[in-house]
Structure 1
Amino acid sequence: MTPTDPHALTGAYAVHAVSGEERAAFERHLADCDACKQEVAEFTATAGRLALASTVRTRPVMREQVLRRITTVRQVPPGAAPLERVRRGAQRGRGSARWALAASVAAAAAFGGTTVWQYERAQDASRAAAQAQRHVEDLAGVLAAPDAKSRAAKVAGGAGTLVVSASRDRAVFVASGMTAPPRGKVYQLWFADGGKMRAAGLMDPARDSQAVLMQGAVDGASEVGITVEPAGGSKQPTSTPVALLGVPT
């Protein structure tokens, strides 16, 4: 069998469509191939964008429609049989009738509350999807910017590439094969300028390969540092940087 050209696996790798053996071989290749690193980052961003392409934002008028219909549409609560028996035995006394009415009102109120809760969750999901889509678009925009420049370096047992777009004043850090941080720790990114470190986001400790859109503008920073911090990150570095990459100009 003819060995697969590793340069042809960037797309499949980005969407996790390679076997374990192919993945290991490709990651070894990726450690020394800047072109493939950038392709993987671009494919990953594009895949995320396509996954969100079918998201439909809920119409603002939906909330009013749901709340109005709650008061006009009779709902059938789960386990309605006991209520039917109460209805058939209503002649036994007003107490039973009052109980049936109270149970019906409680069931309708519960259903209405559930409907509003579901609507609010849908709104939350819609806002989260829109935010994620903007994030993916910003990340892809930096990587595909005409003026994008990159700098690669060995980082924590793997490889890291810093991509900067001056026109967008944003940066993306692409990691491949990095050693996982200790339990309870995370890699944190920083913009460094004149000895001052500015927090620029956290990396996912569960992934050894990822593309991270750094938080905030580059704003004249001369270097990007990576430190090991407690889960959740720190306001200022608490450890010596495991890597410092000069911002490409």
Structure 2
Amino acid sequence: MNAELHTLTGAYALHALSDDEREEFERHLGDCEACTQEVRELTATAARLGLAVSVTPPPEMKAAALRRISTVRQEPPVAPAPARPVAARFRGRRMARFALAACMAVTAGSAGVAVWQHQSADDAQQQARAAQQQSEQLAGVLAAPDAKATTGQLAGGASGTLVVAHSKNQAVFVASSMPKPPSGKVYQLWFNDAGTMRSAGLMDPSQTTEAVLLSGPVDKASGMGITVEPSGGSPAPTSAPLALMNFATA
């Protein structure tokens, strides 16, 4: 298997590959669970980093960029060597993309070395497609013009940011430094519908930093809560909420 493909996880998570590169890398994901997991983690990290830059650019930025286009000299094209192998096509970008992936992993504090269990290629491809679809929805919420964020401190020194975009009827929760739940337990998220809690999905118990697209529509919910539930989740909360956060209104 082409070892160069293992260095493209960061670029894939940021949609920075060409169509041909993306197709080849997605075929690689079908055989590599390690890259599938790393893409999932880097995608969540990219969404979390997006919160730091999710501001509306000033109107004069476009005009300034157009002015600078006419003053920056474009480098001449370089003719590719004939019959250049796939590995060579990727080599020029390898170090920059590897550095990007490494920086993202350090920032998130969640990417590391793991022991991977073999899965079928079809299963891995399904996971990759599901992760990509979720990342696109998550990024859409964060980039929505009406996205509003609420940030607060949680128990155990953790912090959380709740982002809602009513135009998409969706919300995202980003947790940082979350303590791992007790063995056999999981953090479950809930929409707060006028005091009635509606399940909004589970957090990954192995992650301390995670961006989660809440399951289901926001509708008339005023915020969300977090409880500790048995592995697999519960149809209704079985414990007092660890935190309650309201959606920002302005």
Q: Deviations 1:53-90 (Å, cap 9, x if unpaired)?
A: 43259xxxxxxxxxxxxxxxxxxxxxxxxxxxxxxxxx
Cα distance in 2 for residues equivalent to 1:227 and 1:242: 6
State the match for 1:176 in structure 2: 176
Overall identity of the aligned pairs, in %: 55
Alignment of 1:211-230 (within 5 A): 211-230=211-230
One-letter identity of the residue aligned with 1:220: K
Secondary structure at 1:239 match in 2: coil
Cα distance in 1 for residues equivalent to 2:155 and 2:145: 30
- Output the aligned Cα RMSD: 2.7
Distance 1:145 1:217, change over 3 A: same
Cα distance in 1 for residues equivalent to 2:11 and 2:153: 23
Q: Deviations 1:149-178 (Å, cap 9, x if unpaired)?
A: 000111122100001111111111000112
Distance 1:193 1:45, change over 3 A: farther
Task: Give the ranges of 4+ consecutive aligned residues of structure 1 lying more than 4 Å apart after TM superposition.
Answer: 48-52
Q: Which has the larger radius of gyration?
A: 1
One-letter identity of the residue aligned with 2:216: G
State the match for 2:26 in structure 1: 55
Alignment of 1:110-189 (within 5 A): 121-157=120-156, 158-189=158-189
Higher relative contact order (CA 8 A, sep 6+): 2
Alignment of 1:9-158 (within 5 A): 47=13, 53=22, 54-56=25-27, 121-157=120-156, 158=158
Cα distance in 1 for residues equivalent to 2:123 and 2:227: 33
Secondary structure at 2:221 match in 1: coil
Distance 1:50 1:201, change over 3 A: farther
State the match for 1:209 in structure 2: 209
Cα distance in 1 for residues equivalent to 2:190 and 2:15: 26
TM-score, length of structure 1 as denominator length = 0.52
Distance 1:204 1:127, change over 3 A: closer
Segments of structure 1 that go 5 or more residues without pairing to the other structure are 1-43, 58-120
TM-score, length of structure 2 as denominator length = 0.52
Distance 1:46 1:197, change over 3 A: farther
Distance 1:166 1:134, change over 3 A: same
Cα distance in 2 for residues equivalent to 1:228 and 1:127: 29
